[in-house]
Amino acid sequence: MFIRLLIVTFVVALAMSTFVALLFSRPIDRILNRLVSAELAATWRRYILFATFVVGISGGARLWEMEKYITPNSEGHILKLTSDRWVIEVYKTVIGSLQSIAWMLLVFFLFALIAYVTVRGFEMRRAT
């Protein structure tokens, strides 16, 4: 039962990461094409896609929290995986995956904003 839970949470986290990667691919492309050259934009795009999957899967499929289903507690009991716990674990996977990706994208967009303001400032100086 634990292996099934592990596989399901991995697949759900992978699906959420894929969804977010598809949702944000155009904005990321536009930002990167504006900030860096075409050759670098493709490389950075690939890295951000990779980071989205790594962060999304690791944030969604939380192995350290699932150990409670295979490790006995202080009384020697192991938690049973009931249908209610399955729903909670899948829900935690969705929320954890989205939350992790949101933080990663926030950091990316903050640095992109700083870079955009810097590039724009240099362009305005050149124009004058």
Report the 10 Å Cβ neighbour count for 11.
Answer: 15
pLDDT (tens digit, 9 = 90+) per residue, 48-57? 999 999 999 9
Tokens 């596989």 found at: 7
N- to C-terminal Cα distance for the chain? Answer: 68
Domain count, the chain: 1
CA-derived radius of gyration, the chain: 20
pLDDT (tens digit, 9 = 90+) per residue, 30-53? 999 988 888 899 999 999 999 999
Task: Supply φ then ψ for residue 125, to 5 degrees.
Answer: -65, -40
Does the structure show a pLDDT above 80 at 128? Answer: no
Q: How confident is the model at residue 76 (pLDDT cuts 50, 70, 90)?
A: confident
The percentage of the chain sitting over the pLDDT mark of 90, rounded to a whole number, equals 64
More confident residue, 126 or 15: 15
Residue 58 belongs to what domain range?
2-127
pTM (2 d.p.): 0.84
Does the structure show a pLDDT above 90 at 125? Answer: no
